[in-house]
Chain A
Amino acid sequence: MFLDMQEHPEKYSDEQLEAMMDELDHLPDVDKAWHEFEQNHHQIAMRSPRRWLKVAASIIGIIMVSGITFAAIHIVRHYQKPQTPKAEQTTYVKVPINTVPTDITTDTTAVVPRIFDNVSLDTMLNEIAGNYHVAVEFQREEIRQLRFHFEWKSSESIDRVVERLNNFEAVDIICEPEKLIVK
């Protein structure tokens, strides 16, 4: 009857339509609904901070025990090594004066991430896109004003940045050679 009322309202009296609207606008018992949701998703308990503290403490404990065990094994092996007699001959090894390796060509300066905190998608994407020399095209105006918290490392490729942005459910970006299209 609901669909028929929707498709052919002229077949029904105003009272009937009013009654249907009253039914559709009837607000549910939110507390009861939440209780049912909790029952069905007992994994919510896993999300409590106390539970994660216990997990973190367990992991730290395992790492410490593993580290101590490794150190103990290393010490025991070191003292169990047979003593080798000193060689009669002394071998001279040429040590270069300049001990700094000459094959280092990479810049060791760490890349400081740019943190966007509660920044609109419009502002954030334009800054990011500018770094990669691509344009930005928004296909829906309303999405420009969505705000995000996002950490961007300029050392990442544009494909990787777009992949990370698309993890936001509200965001769907296509990366083309010269522009980003935001759907």
Chain B
Amino acid sequence: MERIEIQRLFKQHYAKMYRMARTILYDEQESEDVVSDIFEDLLHGQTILMPETEECYLLTSVRNRCLKRLRHPASAIEGSGYNEPVDDSDVEDERLTDIDEFIACHLSEQEQRIFRLRFTDGCCYEEIATAEGISRVAVWKHLSHALNLIRNHFNK
């Protein structure tokens, strides 16, 4: 991908991507690394992004990479991942699909909407609160509940 295109994507989407990474990883440096790795892969790879789906692709990449990072044995942060070490990217992708399916089956409709707004659309807490007509603290608690459910289910 050309430099000018990378620059456009970076400047347009970096803030949201970084914010999503921090929501999952919390650590600033790790969050920067995840987002930087995604742009580096775009720089060296042959992926072509369509304008209408590029944001979705980038935010989904952030979410998936952050969840994979949480499973890395070297990570000091517990998260909503698994305890087994990473050994197969196909297994990783399958488990990410499992999380998506679990969310669809076990979260309430409102929790699914809030989860999607935060972890797919990259909305800030204020935007989610406005969309749902609830307080930011309520948003936080709904997300906490959802993440705890996921964590407890997949860490059995």
B-binding residues in A (CB < 8 A): 2-3, 5-7, 9, 14, 17-18, 20-21, 24-25, 27-28, 30-31, 33-34, 37, 40-41, 43-45, 47-49, 118, 139-140, 145-149, 167-170, 172, 183
> A21-B136, A24-B23 given as contacts; is B10 within 8 A of A37 (CB)?
yes
Closest chain B residue, CB of each to CB of A2: B26
Considering the complex, which residues of chain B in the window 1-51 have a beta carbon less than 8 Å from any beta carbon of chain A? 1-3, 6-7, 10-11, 14-15, 18-19, 22-23, 26, 32, 36, 39-41, 43-48, 50
Other A-B pairs beyond A28-B14, A28-B19, A47-B3, 12, CB < 8 Å? A3-B78, A7-B151, A21-B125, A25-B19, A27-B18, A28-B15, A30-B15, A145-B53, A146-B50, A147-B50, A149-B48, A168-B47
What chain A residues lie within 8 Å of B53 (beta carbons)? 145-147, 170
Residue of B nearest to A34 (CB): B10
Contacts of B57 in A (CB 8 A): 169-170
Question: Any chain A CB within 8 A of the CB of B109?
Answer: no
Determine how close the nearest CB of chain B comes to the CB of A51; give it in whole angstroms. 10
With a cutoff of 8 Å between Cβ atoms, the chain A residues found around residue B148 in the complex are 6-7
Residue among A37, A41, A48, A146 with the highest chain B CB neighbour number at 10 A: A37
Q: How far is the CA of A169 from the CA of B64 in the complex (A)?
A: 13
Closest 5 CB pairs of A and B: A2-B26, A25-B124, A147-B50, A47-B3, A21-B125
The smallest beta-carbon distance between B122 and chain A, in angstroms, is: 11
A-contacting residues, B46-105, CB 8 Å: 46-48, 50, 52-53, 57, 61, 77-79, 93, 97, 100
Q: Is the CB of A34 within 8 A of B7?
A: yes
Q: Given A14-B137, A17-B137, A146-B50, are A24 and B6 neighbors across the interface (CB < 8 Å)?
A: no
User: B140 within 8 Å of A by Cβ?
Assistant: yes
A-B contact pairs, 22 of them (CB 8 A): A3-B79, A6-B147, A9-B137, A18-B136, A21-B125, A21-B136, A24-B23, A25-B19, A27-B19, A34-B10, A34-B14, A40-B36, A44-B43, A45-B3, A47-B1, A47-B2, A47-B6, A48-B2, A147-B50, A169-B45, A169-B61, A170-B47
> Inside 8 A of A49's CB, which chain B residues have their CB?
2
A residues less than 8 Å from B100 (CB atoms)? 140
Contact yes or no, A48 B144, CB < 8 A: no
By a beta-carbon cutoff of 8 Å, the part of chain B in contact with chain A is: 1-3, 6-7, 10-11, 14-15, 18-19, 22-23, 26, 32, 36, 39-41, 43-48, 50, 52-53, 57, 61, 77-79, 93, 97, 100, 124-126, 136-137, 140-141, 143-144, 147-148, 151
Min CB–CB distance B71 → chain A (angstroms): 15
For B5, the closest partner residue in chain A by CB is: A47
Contact, CB under 8 Å: B93 / A25: no
Bound-state Cα–Cα, A48 to B43, Å: 12
Q: Which residue of A lies closest to B20 (CB)?
A: A24
Which A residues lie within 8 Å of B6 (CB)? 44, 47
For A33, the chain B residues whose CB sits under 8 A away are 10, 14, 18, 32
